[in-house]
Structure 1
Amino acid sequence: MFYSFTPMDPSAFVIIEINQDMFSTYRWNDKSREWELYEITPSDTCDMYGVCGPYGNCSLSHSPLCQCLPGFIPKSTRQWAKNNWSQGCVRNISLSCNNPQVNVEDVFLKFTGLKVPDTTNTLLYENIDLELCRTMCLNNCSCTAYTNSDISGRGSGCVMWFGDLIDIKHFDTSSGQDLYIRIAREVIGK
């Protein structure tokens, strides 16, 4: 891993301290003759990677910070009650594509204003629209979510997630992306 930047003031002296939880940027103040903290990353608890575990949604405006997405319950209610959300959430109703006896298609719930999950296990298709993206995801039982690859939500493009969705954050402002998460149809009662 590496980090680089170019200070706007080339005469500035800057130190960056990196550890397993955060990195801090300090700049030298000639007047006080001290290093001053300039910035800390992550800036809040929800910016810490995977704080809510799989299928957990982190929101600074909720108490507790972590909530299971609709259709999911805490994997360990005991740990969840202790505000240890690292094990995350699990489905409370299995997907129908995992059960050949069920003759009902899964559905996608639209979530808005999110920092999308970790993209380690994703596929990107730059030239397909969102409807084709939905169809392709629905036809692949391993596909757990999809979104428009254009972060403005306007252009073509598709990102599909496979496996657990980790590191979701809900923004309380108008920023963030839409994410369509696969759930069992029974969750929404259709």
Structure 2
Amino acid sequence: MDYELMDGFSLLNDHEGTISLSFSYVNDSLVHFALNTHGNIEQRFWDYEKEGWEVMLVLQSECDFYGNCGAFGSCNSQNTPICSCLQGFEPKNTKEWNNGNWTSGCVRRTQLQCERVNTSKGSKMDGFLNLKMMKVPDFADWSQVLEADCRQQCLESCSCIAYAYDTGIGCMSWTGSLIDAQEFSSAGVDLYIRVAYSDLGEFFYLSTSTQPP
């Protein structure tokens, strides 16, 4: 599936283990990205006066490496360590995680109420945890519904594990693993993650509709 991203990027996932990222400007500006000898990605532009390529941006934060924190992990370059599990999740491989290898990611700590075959009477519904100032995970499903309907659309499907709404993009939702989430110190969007009631924090929305079959 091909995902058109902002700022000229396009992400292609063939679901066979190969992911490719391409970039093109709408206009004919002479801009390109290159991997330098230090393993960092540089955004370069053509300087007509110097008649050569000049670097305008270097992506060198560890959080800029794709999937550095694994599934359901979040990266914050200001923290030590930079990777942490999203609330409601825990390291899949604790030994690797403690040694600074986070690529195995995290797993859900408590099974969702809507996924349980047998639900005890009076058990509390799942809810949405509100994570602020986030770079949202990759491979979102896009929808043109309004912001209020975005939440409801995710709420009505147990397979929808997260959603976000951005005025410039629209409604985004996720049904698979959350990959490449990142916490910013400014900007970013609110990301709402479905978790079990016992894993909800202070800022959340409770599910109020009847759970789907």
TM-score using structure 2 length: 0.69
Paired with 2:61 and 2:175, the residues of 1 have a C-alpha distance of 27
User: What corresponds to 1:104 in structure 2?
Assistant: 124
Paired with 1:129 and 1:26, the residues of 2 have a C-alpha distance of 37
1:60 match: secondary structure: coil
8 Å Cα contact 2:44-2:57 kept in structure 1: no
Aligned equivalent of 1:127, options 145, 170, 185? 145
Aligned equivalent of 1:168, options 165, 181, 187? 181
Larger RCO, structures 1/2 (Cα 8 Å, 6+ apart) = 1
Pairing 1:183–2:201 present: no
Paired with 1:187 and 1:98, the residues of 2 have a C-alpha distance of 15
Shift in alpha-carbon separation, 1:18–1:96, aligned structure 2, 3 A = same
Letter in 2 for 1:72: F
Pairing 1:42–2:59 present: yes
- Deviation string for 1:29-85 (max 9, x for gaps)? 9xxx9x787256433111111111111110011110001111110000011011111
Structure showing greater radius of gyration is 1
Paired with 1:27 and 1:187, the residues of 2 have a C-alpha distance of 47
Paired with 1:15 and 1:128, the residues of 2 have a C-alpha distance of 35
Structure 1 residue 151, shift from structure 2 partner: 4.5
- Deviation string for 1:112-134 (max 9, x for gaps)? 0000000x2x332213332x322
8 Å Cα contact 1:124-1:149 kept in structure 2: no
- Unmatched runs of 5 consecutive residues or more in structure 2: 1-20, 207-213
Structure 1 residue 28, shift from structure 2 partner: 8.6
Letter in 2 for 1:134: R
1:36-185 to 2 correspondence within 5 Å?
A: 38-39=55-56, 41-102=58-119, 103-118=123-138, 120=139, 122-130=140-148, 132-151=149-168, 157-173=170-186, 175-185=187-197
8 Å Cα contact 1:114-1:168 kept in structure 2: yes
- Deviation string for 1:132-160 (max 9, x for gaps)? 322221221110101114249xxxx4221
Identity of aligned residues (%): 36
8 Å Cα contact 2:68-2:102 kept in structure 1: yes
Paired with 1:95 and 1:161, the residues of 2 have a C-alpha distance of 15
1:108 match: secondary structure: strand
- Unmatched runs of 5 consecutive residues or more in structure 1: 8-13
8 Å Cα contact 2:166-2:189 kept in structure 1: no
Paired with 2:55 and 2:162, the residues of 1 have a C-alpha distance of 37
Paired with 2:153 and 2:131, the residues of 1 have a C-alpha distance of 19
Paired with 1:62 and 1:44, the residues of 2 have a C-alpha distance of 12
8 Å Cα contact 1:126-1:149 kept in structure 2: no
